[in-house]
Chain A
Amino acid sequence: MAAVAVAGALLAAFAGAAWSASGWPSPGGEASSSSPAEGVEWLFEFGTRGSTPGKFAAPRGIAVGPGDVIAVVDRSGRVQRFQADGTFLNEWALPKSDTGTPTGLGFDHDGTILVADTHNSRMLRYSPEGRELARWGRYGAGEADCFVYLTDACVLPRGAGSPLGEGGIYVSEYGREGHDRVLGFASDGRLLTAFGEFGELPGHFRRPMGICAVAGPGGTLLCVADSTNDRVQGFDAAGRFVREFGGRGSGPGRMVTPMDVAAGPDGTLYVVEYGNHRVQRFTAEGRPLGAAGSFGTGAEQFNYPWGVAVNSRGVVYVADTKNHRVVALRFR
């Protein structure tokens, strides 16, 4: 009997060790900073790998809209809507395509969803029920309605005084000479303005991804995650360069391949870093306030995350792409 008990205990110990040791070894190179445990409250997560309702196939774009409704796009070409607690609401599929799937989306004030259908070079507008309301754009170069890769969209807060008019949409784009910029559309899809070019200088972009608007003391700031340049840039509504922050690294205030940026209700910015597997919080001036997450597949870890969104209560949702889930947390 004793022998059996000992064997059983050993087995249990072994199993426990193996299970808890799951997850990849930490990446080489610079030490990545993980979350200061005091500053972050990990709330919950939802979603597992799959292409059925409530499941994700590499979720990349995430946005929060009126009523704190969450919308997520993933590699299966679906848009899924959830309540703030992760309860599934509805889903629909984008028009089928061989060329690829969307990587970003944004909400309009009326709850309609603007999806940046990246590899099809077009914007799609949907009602909350998933009915397609409008689409514009096609692949090409040089002409007014031709684009390459559209990566994310955002609509300025009401009354922000954008030259695009009420409901104007800012969309980031990259992919070809002359097409590394931020576009400004009227609410009906007419291209009104564009700014930016390829490069590393202020006002230049290399693969601009996430875009969001944050209200600040000087007015509304349009923030763009300039991923290959490892920085976030801020512009005014007219497209004039205001500031940049970031720079390659893993320490506080630095970032590696920021893929998305979102604005909190308190005017802070949240940046999700693909290369550092974390989400970092900044003031609108670019001062770092804290970070959360490290590489891995377990709790409090991310695996090459692409998207971040914040709701009206400051709950931060991270599209944890390679872990096929959305993680909710809050910075205190």
Chain B
Amino acid sequence: MGIAFGNPYFLWLFPVLAAAAVWIARRSLSGLAGARRKVALGIRLVVILILTLLLADPRAERPDESVAVAFCVDYSRSVPEAELRRAAKFISEASGARHPGDRLEVVAFGGEAAIEQPFAAEFSGLAPSLHTWVDPEKTAIGAALRLAASSFAEGAGRRVVLITDGNENRGDVVAAVEKARAAGVAVDLFPIRYKHEEEVLVEKVTCPDHVTVGRKFELRCIIHSTVETTAEIDVLANNEATGGERLSAALPKGAARLTVLRAITGAEGGAARAEATVDGLPLAEGTRLAAGRHVVAIDETLELPGPAEARYRVLAGAAGAEAAVGAPAPIPLAGGRHARSLYVRLECGGAATLAVEHRGRGETGRAPAWETAAGGESETTLVLNGEGETKATLFVPRERMRVKLRPGKNAIALPQPVTTAGLHSFQVRIAPERDTVTGNNRAFAYTYASGDRPTVLLLDDDPASARLLLAAMASRPGRPETPFTIEHRPSADCPQTMLGLASYDAIVLSNVPAAAFSDEQKEMLHDAVHEFGVGLIMVGGGDAFGAGGYQGSAVEAALPVNMDVTNRKVTPKGALVLVLHTMEIPGTTEWGKRVAKEAIGVLGANDVIGVLYYDARGGGERWLINLQPARDKDELSRTVDDMVNGDAPDFGRFVRLAHEGLTADPRAKDAVRKHVIVISDGDPARPSPKELNDLASAGITLSTVLISGHGQPEMDTMRGMAEATGGRFYNVLDAKSLPRIFIKESAVVRRGMFMEETQRPRVADVSQMLQGIGQNDLPPLTGYVTTSQKRNAAVRPQYPLLSSIKDAEEDPILAQWEYGVGRAVAFTSDLGRRWATPWVQWGKYDRFWRQVIEWTLKKVSRADFESQVAVGGSDAEGKIVVFGEDEEGRTLDGLTIKGKVYPPSGRPAEVLLRQTALGRYEGEFDAGQEGAYYFAADAGGGRLITTGFTRSASAEYSARESDERLFAAVLRASGGREIREPARAFDRDLTRVDTRQPLWRALFWAALGLFFLDIAFRRLDIEYRALLAPVGFVVARLRRSRRKRAVATKTAAAVGGGVPAHGAAISPAGPEQPGPPAAPEGEPPAVAAGPPGAAGEGAGAEAGPGDGPAASGAEYMQGLFAARDRARRKRGLRKRK
């Protein structure tokens, strides 16, 4: 082991300090005796030496030892799968070629790096799928290298092997290589080389920013190809296949005809043939059809010499009086053979006969098959004679376009129809015959279509209620034209994307509860109003506003009223009792607790809550939470969490306790609505009819939630309980349905929010919506949901337009406000099914709703802002640049433009556009995902900027081959090499330096120890001889016993008798023996002459045989004198100090 010094210059300090120490020692150590002085000085010098060494930073250098290798593997999409497998095999082989002690690590990387397998001696191969996750859409080789370099432990040789194709698009690997090299990490390369010979990719798709509904436009698609091949092209609009078109016609009773006129244009020559079948069977002459549904298929076979277009026209109606039904968009066809089918669905009101006729260029045929030349017109006619009316629907499927690709750039035009207004995204997909990488075969584009008529979406789950509004808005002679179209959908069909919502001009929520929407949808509804200017109208009913559970939601924020009625002096309160019993199946208790906690969460602070359960701690049926206002919800939730539920034998007692509480407890008995929810597995015995009747007659409803019931009897028990009291029964099979249940059920309690009294609303303010409608025109309402007007100085208007006075409170009936870029309206009664029935027959009903809806329609104009969006090179950052000019051509400056970017999936992000030049504003956003993004910002004054950006497949897919130049650059910067043999990965030709902590520590403790030793040596009087006494003592005793034996033999021989044992203690064995054991000077044992051993020896009365006084006398006296002298000397010395 060699030692190197980090700061060798400190070593020069030693002679200097040593000399100084010697000079100082002359004075400070003068008190010591010679030998001791030398030793003291020596110790000091050693301490100084050690301290100097420490300052010089000693390090041990080890020759060749173990090696730690980190393999960085590129998991980005540009690396083909087969190459990854080869890399895994390489690593396994390298691992097998290791020396003992070598360690191995695998770092996976893509857009970022993660340690897939940390340093370990064992390596069992790369798992087929990663344990960690890295973003495969980017390649950041530098990040991987940095991570690997920082993960090495001290003490081993360090090498990083980069396994990549070199297609870096994030960060700079060469800089990272240089840093690693400086830190002593060797960087080598195992390159992944490939070249896609045959590759077709879609570079981009473009289309105009704005189009008009009803007019066709073109998508232009640029395709790169390295080879000559053909490809099929598919276009998805708004993520739906543009599969085909439907046309409907009504065929009257009696003789009727439906004709499909076919014109193949653009190709001369070729052949066409058509056959018709009905319900799969060939159509013979006069096939008899029964009433009901039948499908006629018209199968066409076309052989075309070149590209062409198929145009169809459809005529239908009574024989001799056919009218045009429509014309599907022309279908582009490539040259070659095509088999196509058109379908006609006939819904016959009565029995009918069906025949088919084909007519071609001048030829007529009645035979099932027919041939003619292409390039002309032909027709196929269905001849129907029915006893009832028939509805016919024609379905024309779209042809998948086929194109020929040449090597290089190909530009393809794809015509597209647009039928609805709003933002549309298009995805173009190609399927080439010859291709290597398929991930780059698609691209996106978007456009904004403006229609001539605004569209309103009506969400209402009651078709009868929806019909009331639809009928009022339908065109009728004598009624002015409704300036918008209205589309009705059930709430479950509400659009799930921002794109879908923003394409409407207004949305009407008619009696839809909050539970019908996910949290994301609620936020999108809010944003649709605030950012996109879509109008929002909430119409009441038993499930809307507060009773619908909207409190605290994003939708509430967008409406002009608050769900919680806080301004009332007398707040109607509800009382809810929860009975929690879920036992046997693990997990069900947790569901039950969740329902309970969520139900508590939705109650108002004035509502009363009580919770019953069966105490597992022996007490049977008890109140877990006594009836009390639902104020401290956290505390209540905690109590529910802590509940330990037992096995309840019977429901009856719970029902009785709930009834007693809700009717007798002063806190609950004055509640307007009383409700009980039983959550159970259905096992306990059912309550008696009387117990349930008591509930019903007290106006208490009971709902049951069955969780994991065993079977039919439990369901019957729970259902029966709910039915007896007019409550609801839920059979819960999965946890996802729980939230809807509790919102719905708790809303029952909040039904205290209804006001059900007949009253004529009062006109409280003037408005556009009420133009031509005066106080005397308004019919009475029989009920509404109570809400409170938002009072905010910034909000206009401050008062509802229509209101109702109750308990001296003004309850809004109709309220409006502007919110963000849009407008929102609340109408707390309903469309006429329950509470507004007198309004349905009212002559001005349609006028009222028309004006209300019209007022909320999107009023935003598109601002005159030109916008551009781009994606920054290697990082997926999007940049949006907007130029603004006013009508006179002057730039618009000083604006604050705040907007939101809606990515293809996930939450929208806010973007702030800063002014960077005259009329120019810029902002950034994260464009990591593939797909269509759109951006909406309010430029002030009701002007909305919308633009979009489509990010096609990640940069990874455009890589067609590995990057040799990057390989060369990396090797140059690192001085490393390309590893071809797996065994070379663990080569030992590495120089390393490492610090050895133990050296430092050992030296430090040694110095400290010596330092104290130095002090001790100088300050303490230790009789070193005394320290050595035990050794001497043993030696002396050995000697003495031998001598005594000799003496005794002699004496015994001389005396011939017993010898007194006494005297042994007093006879010192030799000159080494310490002083008298009596120790009259009283010295403490540490300093004193003799170890107790000596005294002990005396006390022990070691009677050696023949230990006679004669042998010890003179020696004894001598010893005494010697001891006295020594003691004197010591005292003298001590005095001097």
Q: Which residues of A are at the interface with B, using a C-beta cutoff of 8 A?
A: 24-29, 75, 98-100, 119, 139, 148-149, 174-176, 198-200, 206-207, 227-228, 256-257, 259, 274-275, 277, 295-296, 303-304, 322
Contact A148 B619 (CB under 8 A): no
Interface stretch of the complex, out of B397-405, B426-434, B709-717: B709-717
Chain B residue numbers with a CB within 8 Å of A295 are 617-618
Contact A27 B713 (CB under 8 A): no
| Nearest CB of A to B881, in Å | 64
Contact A119 B618 (CB under 8 A): no
For the complex, give the distance between the alpha carbons of A179 and B712 in Å. 14
Chain B residue numbers with a CB within 8 Å of A303 are 618
Chain B residue nearest in CB terms to A25: B617
Chain A residue numbers with a CB within 8 Å of B694 are none
Chain A residue numbers with a CB within 8 Å of B717 are 175-176
Interface stretch of the complex, out of B311-319, B333-341, B642-650: B642-650
For the complex, give the distance between the alpha carbons of A85 and B676 in Å. 49
Is B771's beta carbon under 8 Å from chain A? no
Chain A residue nearest in CB terms to B711: A99
Contact B712 A27 (CB under 8 A): no
| Nearest CB of B to A288, in Å | 21
Chain B residue numbers with a CB within 8 Å of A148 are 713
Chain A residue numbers with a CB within 8 Å of B650 are 206-207, 227-228, 257
Q: CB < 8 Å: which of A27, A228, A275, A296 contacts B652?
A: A228
Chain B residue numbers with a CB within 8 Å of A26 are 618
Contact A28 B619 (CB under 8 A): yes
Is B615's beta carbon under 8 Å from chain A? yes
Contact A198 B688 (CB under 8 A): yes
Contact A206 B711 (CB under 8 A): no
| Nearest CB of B to A248, in Å | 10
Query: Which residue of B647, B652, B713 has the most chain A CB atoms within 10 A of its CB atom?
Result: B713
With A100-B710, A119-B710 already in contact, the answer to whether A256 and B620 are too (CB < 8 A) is yes
Contact B622 A207 (CB under 8 A): no
Is B685's beta carbon under 8 Å from chain A? yes
Can you sample 16 A-B contacts with CB below 8 Å? A27-B615, A27-B619, A28-B619, A28-B622, A99-B710, A100-B711, A174-B685, A175-B713, A176-B713, A176-B717, A206-B685, A227-B685, A228-B653, A259-B649, A295-B617, A322-B616
Q: CB < 8 Å: which of A24, A139, A198 contacts B617?
A: A24
For the complex, give the distance between the alpha carbons of A139 and B618 in Å. 33
Those 4 A-B pairs whose CB atoms lie nearest each other, nearest first: A295-B618, A27-B618, A207-B685, A27-B619
For the complex, give the distance between the alpha carbons of A296 and B616 in Å. 11
Chain A residue nearest in CB terms to B652: A228
For the complex, give the distance between the alpha carbons of A3 and B391 in Å. 101
Contact A275 B620 (CB under 8 A): yes
For the complex, give the distance between the alpha carbons of A318 and B689 in Å. 34
For the complex, give the distance between the alpha carbons of A140 and B686 in Å. 17
| Nearest CB of A to B576, in Å | 24
Chain A residue numbers with a CB within 8 Å of B652 are 206, 228
Contact B688 A27 (CB under 8 A): no
For the complex, give the distance between the alpha carbons of A27 and B716 in Å. 33
With A27-B618, A206-B650, A257-B649 already in contact, the answer to whether A139 and B711 are too (CB < 8 A) is yes
Chain A residue nearest in CB terms to B653: A228
For the complex, give the distance between the alpha carbons of A161 and B616 in Å. 43
For the complex, give the distance between the alpha carbons of A176 and B718 in Å. 11
Chain B residue numbers with a CB within 8 Å of A277 are 618
Chain A residue numbers with a CB within 8 Å of B646 are 304
| Nearest CB of B to A57, in Å | 11
Chain B residue nearest in CB terms to A275: B620
Contact A228 B710 (CB under 8 A): no
| Nearest CB of A to B619, in Å | 4
Chain B residue numbers with a CB within 8 Å of A174 are 685
Chain A residue numbers with a CB within 8 Å of B713 are 119, 139, 148-149, 175-176
| Nearest CB of A to B617, in Å | 5
Chain A residue numbers with a CB within 8 Å of B653 are 228
For the complex, give the distance between the alpha carbons of A56 and B711 in Å. 25
Chain A residue numbers with a CB within 8 Å of B716 are 176
For the complex, give the distance between the alpha carbons of A99 and B708 in Å. 10
Chain A residue numbers with a CB within 8 Å of B649 are 207, 227-228, 257, 259, 274
With A206-B652, A206-B688 already in contact, the answer to whether A98 and B710 are too (CB < 8 A) is yes
| Nearest CB of A to B862, in Å | 62
For the complex, give the distance between the alpha carbons of A310 and B622 in Å. 33
Chain A residue numbers with a CB within 8 Å of B688 are 198-200, 206
Chain A residue numbers with a CB within 8 Å of B712 are 139
Chain B residue numbers with a CB within 8 Å of A24 are 617-618
| Nearest CB of A to B253, in Å | 51
| Nearest CB of B to A120, in Å | 9
For the complex, give the distance between the alpha carbons of A255 and B685 in Å. 18
For the complex, give the distance between the alpha carbons of A207 and B653 in Å. 13
Chain B residue numbers with a CB within 8 Å of A99 are 710-711
| Nearest CB of A to B659, in Å | 16
Chain A residue nearest in CB terms to B621: A275
For the complex, give the distance between the alpha carbons of A259 and B615 in Å. 17
Chain A residue numbers with a CB within 8 Å of B710 are 98-100, 119
| Nearest CB of B to A103, in Å | 11
| Nearest CB of A to B894, in Å | 72
Besides A149-B713, A228-B653, 20 more A-B contacts (Cβ < 8 Å) are A24-B618, A27-B615, A29-B620, A99-B711, A119-B713, A148-B713, A174-B685, A175-B713, A176-B713, A176-B716, A176-B717, A206-B688, A227-B649, A228-B650, A274-B649, A295-B618, A296-B618, A304-B616, A304-B618, A304-B647
Chain B residue numbers with a CB within 8 Å of A275 are 620
For the complex, give the distance between the alpha carbons of A322 and B650 in Å. 18
Chain A residue numbers with a CB within 8 Å of B617 are 24-25, 27, 295
| Nearest CB of B to A221, in Å | 24
| Nearest CB of A to B723, in Å | 13
Chain B residue nearest in CB terms to A180: B685
Per-position contact with A for B806-846: 1 when CB-CB < 8 Å, else 0?
00000000000000000000000000000000000000000
| Nearest CB of B to A139, in Å | 6
| Nearest CB of B to A184, in Å | 22
| Nearest CB of B to A177, in Å | 9
For the complex, give the distance between the alpha carbons of A176 and B622 in Å. 26
Chain B residue numbers with a CB within 8 Å of A304 are 616, 618, 646-647
For the complex, give the distance between the alpha carbons of A139 and B620 in Å. 30
| Nearest CB of A to B877, in Å | 56
Chain B residue numbers with a CB within 8 Å of A199 are 688
Chain A residue numbers with a CB within 8 Å of B685 are 174-175, 206-207, 227-228
Chain B residue numbers with a CB within 8 Å of A296 are 618
Chain B residue nearest in CB terms to A248: B653
Chain B residue nearest in CB terms to A148: B713
Chain A residue nearest in CB terms to B648: A257
Chain B residue nearest in CB terms to A179: B713
Chain B residue nearest in CB terms to A149: B713
Per-position contact with A for B130-163: 1 when CB-CB < 8 Å, else 0?
0000000000000000000000000000000000
Chain B residue numbers with a CB within 8 Å of A200 are 688
For the complex, give the distance between the alpha carbons of A206 and B649 in Å. 11
For the complex, give the distance between the alpha carbons of A129 and B650 in Å. 36
| Nearest CB of A to B510, in Å | 41
For the complex, give the distance between the alpha carbons of A200 and B685 in Å. 14
Chain A residue nearest in CB terms to B651: A228
With A206-B685, A207-B650, A207-B685 already in contact, the answer to whether A27 and B620 are too (CB < 8 A) is yes
Chain A residue numbers with a CB within 8 Å of B584 are 75
Query: Which residue of A100, A139, A295 has the most chain B CB atoms within 10 A of its CB atom?
Result: A100
Per-position contact with A for B660-688: 1 when CB-CB < 8 Å, else 0?
00000000000000000000000001101
Chain A residue numbers with a CB within 8 Å of B686 are 175-176
Chain B residue nearest in CB terms to A24: B617
Chain A residue nearest in CB terms to B716: A176
For the complex, give the distance between the alpha carbons of A295 and B646 in Å. 13
For the complex, give the distance between the alpha carbons of A225 and B646 in Å. 21
> Which residues of B in the span 567-592 have a Cβ within 8 Å of any Cβ on A?
584
For the complex, give the distance between the alpha carbons of A205 and B793 in Å. 67
Chain A residue numbers with a CB within 8 Å of B620 are 27, 29, 256-257, 275
